[in-house]
Structures are given as C-alpha cells and as structure tokens.
Chain A
Amino acid sequence: MSKINLRVNGESQSIDVPPMKRLLDVLREDLHLTGTKEGCGEGECGACAVLMNGELVNSCLIPALQASGATLCTIEGVAQNNTLHPIQQCFLERGGAQCGICTPGMILATHHLLDKYPDPTMEQIQEGLAGNLCRCTGYMRIFESVKKAAEVRATT
C-alpha cells in the first residue's frame, strides 16, 4: 500500500491504496466520487476523463502513485455553490447530454478545450473531443453545446 496525498475539487485527501490502483477506481471506490465513469477502461472512450494539474487525462490509465501530490478536478467539482457551470448549462439546454455516461468526460474535455481555445473552430472542437465517445447524440448537439458554452464564456 502507498500513502497518496492529493487535492480533489478543492479538498485535500490522504488515502492508503495499492500504488498501481487506477485513479479511476481511487476516485470511485475510495473517494466515492462516482460521477467519473468507466467506459472502455482502455483510454479510448474518455468517459473517465478528469483534469489533473489542469490537463485532461484518462483516469483509467493513471496508477494512483502517479497522482500523488496532484490537483484534480472531477465532474463533481465543476459546478460551484450548487450552480451549474455554464458548460453544464449549455449541454443541458442544447441537448448535449442524453444517457449521461459520456457527459462527465465531455464536460471536462470541453473545459480543457475552452481553456486552450476560448473561441474554438469546429475543427478544434472535433479534435478536442475526439477522445470522448458518445453513442447517443450523434455529436452534433454536443458540438452546438460547446459552441454555445464558448459564446457564454466570452460574454461573462
């Protein structure tokens, strides 16, 4: 077992876990943050995506020990004070979420995308979300949600 200290959604956490335990499982089983989903478990679908030190990562591919000392943001940390983040609001209003499994990863990938490209082109949106698979929406409503979120971000 290894002692892991990390900061998740603004709170410091200290846990004892096997060092090769996947960050995904640490979040879900040890920290009970079940908003982060497991899809493929192979780094292809992005359902488990979180922000680690500001970078988008697939938490299924990170051994717990490599997250030691990191600052993490999961879907539970996106809304502030019970108010949806504008990205979440836009996904809600534009039909960017259906069954919901891909949505936490999509929201965090969008967060990361808009930090890099505040006014993204369609190509930048498509590339930024290429690692997040959705089997409901056909993606068009997701792209519209991201475009709307960029507009909202520009005016606030």
Chain B
Amino acid sequence: MHSDVSQFALTAPPTLEAVLQQLATEPGKHTPIAGGTEIMVALGVGRLPQRSFVSIQHLRELRFIRVDADAIHIGAGVTFTDIRRSKEIADDLPLLIQSASWTGSVANQNRGTLGGNICNASPAADTPPALLAYGAAVTLISSAGLRTVRYEDFHLGYKKTLLRPDELLHTITVPRNFSGYRQYIRKIGTRNAQAISKTALAAVAKIEGDIIADIRLGAASLADRPLRCAATEAALLNRSVAPVHLEVTIKAARAALAGEAKPIDDIRSTGKYRAAVAANLLEEFLRSLAS
C-alpha cells in the first residue's frame, strides 16, 4: 500500500438525487467511484491524483436491466456479472456477454460496472467495441436533467469524454433487433484470461444476397479512444462477399482500416502489431460472411 488513506475523502449519499446534488454544488471536486476496480488499483500503487470521491456503487437507481421492443436499457451501475446473468442480453446481444466475460476475473466482474468501463475511458476497454458495433446510445444525468447522445460521440480523446463534472452516466441503451445480422467479436491479448487487450474487434453486418447491406465495426486500442471504424464501414457498404469478389473486398477493407487506425506503441504491444492484427481480425470476419 503506497498511499496514505487518511488523505482521501469518500462519501456515499443515500440517493441518486443526493449524489447529483453534491456533484452540482462542487463541480469537479468529487470523483464518482462505482466498483472501484480501477480507482482502488491507483490508490494501492500511490498514483491516485484525485482526493475526494463520491460512491455510486450502492445506488439502486443505476442498477437495472430493462427490455422494451426495440432496445435493452442497461443502468450504468450494472456489473459484468449482472450482464452475464441476463437472459435477455444473452439472447440479443451476445457480443456484450462475450466482452463482459473476458473483463477481468469473476471477483472483478462482481464489482466492475458497465458505466465504469465506459467512463474510465480506456481505449483498451473490453465492452466499448461491442457497444460501438451495436450502435448504442448513452443517457447522462445531472441535477439539471437528462441528455442522450450516440455512444460513438461520447469519447473525445484519450481518457476524455463529454461527461460534465456535474454529470453521471445513467443508462446505456442498446438496440436489440439484430436478427438477420452476423455478429463477431475477438480480443487479442497476451493470454486468454484477464489480459488487457492488445487490440479487439467487434462487428455486426447484414448480408443481402452477397452484398453487405449494413455494417458496423468497433475496435479497441486502435486510436486514442474506443474507435468506431466509420471509414472502413463506408468502404465495405454495398461490397460483395461472393467468392469471386471476396479478395477485392478484403483488400479494400484492409486499406480503409489502415487509413483510420492510429494505434500507438505501449507496454502491451506496438502500433505496427496492433494495426496488422486488427486487419487480420477484420479479414476473419469478412471471410465468415462469405461462408
């Protein structure tokens, strides 16, 4: 333990309203803490810059999974274990189940939350690629009210989001009507269990005849933020995956991804490796569409 814990403040107002009031009264002073699986690591190693925290882990208002005809609405306080236990999510959003299952160990999945995974805003985070591929929206709440934005617009840069200091992430809304879509997700890490991604790709696509009629791609660790690969999607839309056209389609996809991916060298991998492997994942997905 490399921090003096007496130097840190933590409160747990009883309701969501009370938490929002505290954030509004002293904007930027208090950092929300949910399951603690990121913040407490920084505390343990003595690298926690903030001094005052407000717990949102106990807020029942943020821990719900609600299903309606078009979407599954997931409270920001829902844990990875909650996600893995949800039959509705398993039925409709298998990529989210898969990414939740490879987020840390069982003990960490019991504590870590979907909202925390998003707001911690690591470009390597596990669930964002799936949420980007599914075209999720996020609803933010403050004492002034609610606003909903596309999730792909939420990340502004490295660890930067459009969340204001007085706001919390409230709901992640994921469209659920993917019947007829092919879905794909794969993560490349140092080992299968509990390794942070070198890169990952999530994809959904609708094939009509042999033509890609709709496609969305989300990737981890290819940019300063979780990346929706919009240019690659545009390059693939209306392309054919018929055997006679497949190689041309793959070539176009690889070129487009190379154009928009801006991976970096860091402790876990190199930019060169990440770009090459992400292109291989994309090719693997496209070949699966042809069969």
Contacts and interface: CB of A to CB of B under 8 A. Distances in A.
A119 interface: no
B58 A58 contact: no
Interface stretch (A79-87, A88-96, A127-135, A140-148): A127-135
A131 B81 CA distance: 14
B45 interface: yes
A17 to B, nearest CB: 8
Contacts of A112: 106
A22 B4 CA distance: 11
A46 B105 contact: yes
A138 to B, nearest CB: 16
B57 interface: yes
Given A18-B8, A42-B44, A66-B57, A130 B37 contact: no
B110 interface: yes
Interface residues of B, number: 31
A19 B37 CA distance: 16
B5 A131 contact: no
A25 B3 CA distance: 12
Interface string B27-54: 0000001011100110111000000010
Contact of A61 (B9, B11, B41, B55): B41
A13 B96 CA distance: 39
Given A20-B8, A65-B10, A60 B40 contact: yes
Given A55-B81, A130-B194, A43 B41 contact: yes
B69 interface: no
Contacts of B63: none
B104 A19 contact: no
Interface in A33-76: 38, 41-44, 46, 49, 55-58, 60-63, 65-66, 68
Interface of B: 1, 5-6, 8-12, 33, 35-37, 40-41, 43-45, 53, 55, 57-58, 81, 104-108, 110-111, 193-194
Given A20-B8, A41-B1, 11 more contacts: A19-B9, A41-B44, A43-B37, A44-B105, A46-B107, A56-B110, A57-B107, A61-B44, A65-B10, A128-B106, A131-B106
Interface of A: 2, 18-22, 25, 38, 41-44, 46, 49, 55-58, 60-63, 65-66, 68, 109, 112-113, 127-128, 130-132
22 contacts: A18-B5, A18-B6, A19-B8, A20-B9, A22-B44, A41-B1, A43-B41, A44-B194, A57-B110, A57-B111, A58-B111, A61-B44, A62-B40, A63-B10, A63-B36, A66-B36, A66-B55, A113-B106, A130-B105, A130-B193, A131-B194, A132-B105
